[in-house]
Amino acid sequence: MSHTRRDFLKAGLGASALLSLGPVTPNALTASRADERDTVLVIVQLSGGNDGLNTVIPYTDDAYARNRKTLRLPTADLHKIDDQVAFHPRMEPFLRLYQEGHLSIIHGVGHPKPDQSHDRAMRIWHTADPDRPERQTGWLGRTADHAWRPDTVETTAVFVGPIVRPFALNAECATVPRIRTAQDLVARTMPGGPAAQPELADRIATPDSDLLALLRHAARTAQTQTKRVEAVINSSAGSGSYPSSGLARDLRTAAQLIRAAIGIRVIFVELGGGGIGGFDNHANQLGNHCALLGQLAEAVSAFVDDLDRDRLLDRVLLMTFSEFGRTVKENGRRGTGHGAAAPVFLVGGKVKGGRIGSHPSLTDLDNGGLKFHADFRRVYATVLDRWLGFDSNAVLGSRFEPLDVLKT
C-alpha cells in the first residue's frame, strides 16, 4: 500500500483502525493457514540471558555446588520437581502448574552455533536462522505473512509491552502492532463515533473504487473489533487476579485479547528489557535474578488461573525463551557470564507436562556454558505445526522434527 493510500485511510479511520487492515496487496509469501483452529501462542522473552542453572536446579549434582560458591541455592529452599532437579525458591507457582500437568520443561535448548553477543544471539532466536541472522524478517513476522489471506483483514500477531517491538515480529507485508493495553486496539473515531464510520466512507469521493471498498471494509471491521475489545475491557473477567508487575499487566492484556477473539493468534510479551540489565547478571546476581523469576512465576500462574476460570486454557500455549543461558561457574563478582543452552518452558491446557530430555552435563561444557541437545527450531516447529496449524517449513526454511510435548 502506498504512503498516499495509507495516509488516506489513516485520516479517515484513525491509526488504530488502520492496524486492523494488515497487508492489502498479495505477495509471494502469501499462503493460507493450515486450518481454522483458534489456538493462541503467547511468547515470553526473558531478555538478557536467563541463568537456567539457577532456574531449574540439578541440586543433587556435586558440580553445581563446586561451581556456585555464592550463587548456590540451599536445597532446603528449593521446590523439588523430582530427585534430580528443582525450581528456584521464588518459583513455587511453577511447581503447582507442573504438578497440575500444565507445564513442561524442555531441557538444553539452543543451537549448533551459539553466539555470546546479546545482539547477535537474540537476532538468531528472532530470525530462527543461525546462518543468516542478518535477514530482515523474524520468524513470527513470517508466520504473520504466511497467515494472511486476501479475504481477511485480521491482525494475526501483536506485541504487548513498553519496549521497542522485538525483531521476531518483523514482517515483510503483514501489520504487527505494538500496544500497551487492549484499549490501544479500540478504533479512534471521527465525530459521531464508530457507528458513523461506514457512512463516512460512503461520503468520501475518490476515483479509486478498490480503495473506497477497502476503506468501508476497514471501517466495519474496526467497528466490530472495537465492540468486542470494549466489551472485554468493561467486563469483570480477570480483574483483581493479577500481581502488580509489568509482566503481569501485559499478560492480563493478552488474556483480554484472547477473550475478545478478534483473530490474534500470536501475542508477544517481554520480561527484563525495561530494567537495568534484565537477566544479564554479571555481578550480584542472586537478588535481581530472584526478583525476576518471582515476577515470571507469579505473572504466568495468574494468567493461567485467569484463563482456566473461563475454560480458555485449552486454547492457549505460552512459551518462554532467552537468548542464551549463563556459565556454570560463577565469576569473582557473584555473577555469571554469557553461556549457551537453557531450559524453555511450555505452559497451557494442552501440554503433556513433565520434563523433556535430561538436564545437560555440568562438566561437558560449551565455552563454559551448558551444551544444547534440543535445537530451538524444533520448539518453533512444534508450536507452528502442531499448535498454530501453520507449515513450519514455510516459516523456518527447513524441516525440523516437532517435539512430542502436546496432547492431541
- On whether residue 401 sits in a domain, the answer given is no
Contact 211, 284 (CB under 8 A): no
Contact 345, 57 (CB under 8 A): no
H helix or E strand, kind and range, residue 290: helix 285-309
- State the pLDDT at residue 10: 46
Q: What average pLDDT does the segment 64-69 reach? A: 97
Tell me how far CA of residue 335 lies from CA of 50, 115, 153, 332, 361, in angstroms: 12, 19, 48, 7, 20
Look at the chain and report how many structural domains it folds into.
Answer: 1
Place of cell 524478517: 137
- pLDDT at 393 > cutoff 90: yes
Estimate the crossing angle of helix 92-99 against helix 285-309, to 10 degrees. 40
User: pLDDT tens digits, residue range 266-291?
Assistant: 999 999 987 656 999 999 999 999 99
Place of cell 542464551: 324
- On whether residue 405 sits in a domain, the answer given is no
- On whether residue 406 sits in a domain, the answer given is no
**CATH number for the domain including 80?**
3.40.720
- On whether residue 147 sits in a domain, the answer given is yes
> What percent of the chain has pLDDT above 70?
79
Which residue type is seen at 86? Answer: A
- State the pLDDT at residue 243: 96
Most confident of 7-16, 150-159, 227-236, 324-333: 324-333
Helix, strand, or coil (residue 44): strand
- Top pLDDT among 90 and 215 is at 90
- pLDDT at 297 > cutoff 70: yes
Contact 288, 277 (CB under 8 A): yes
> What percent of the chain has pLDDT above 90?
71
Query: What DSSP state is assigned to residue 351?
Result: B
Length of the chain: 408
Q: What is the dihedral of CA 377, 382, 384, 387, to 10 degrees?
A: -160
Q: What average pLDDT does the segment 180-184 reach? A: 93
- On whether residue 407 sits in a domain, the answer given is no
Most confident of 63-67, 212-216, 219-223: 63-67
- pLDDT at 3 > cutoff 80: no
- On whether residue 403 sits in a domain, the answer given is no
Contact 343, 367 (CB under 8 A): no
- State the pLDDT at residue 283: 96
- On whether residue 215 sits in a domain, the answer given is yes
- Please give the residue range of the domain that contains residue 26: 3-396
- State the pLDDT at residue 238: 55
Q: What average pLDDT does the segment 188-205 reach? A: 49
Q: What average pLDDT does the segment 54-83 reach? A: 98
- State the pLDDT at residue 92: 98
**What's the mean per-residue pLDDT of the chain?**
86
Q: What average pLDDT does the segment 85-111 reach? A: 98
DSSP code per residue over 55-73 = TEE-TT-HHHHHH-TTTPP
CB atoms within 10 A of CB 250: 27
Instruction: Give the cell for residue 104.
Output: 513442561
- pLDDT at 110 > cutoff 90: yes
- On whether residue 262 sits in a domain, the answer given is yes
- State the pLDDT at residue 215: 65
CB atoms within 10 A of CB 222: 27
What global pTM score does this model have? 0.88
Instruction: Give the cell for residue 30.
Output: 502469501
User: pLDDT tens digits, residue range 30-53?
Assistant: 333 334 458 999 999 999 999 999
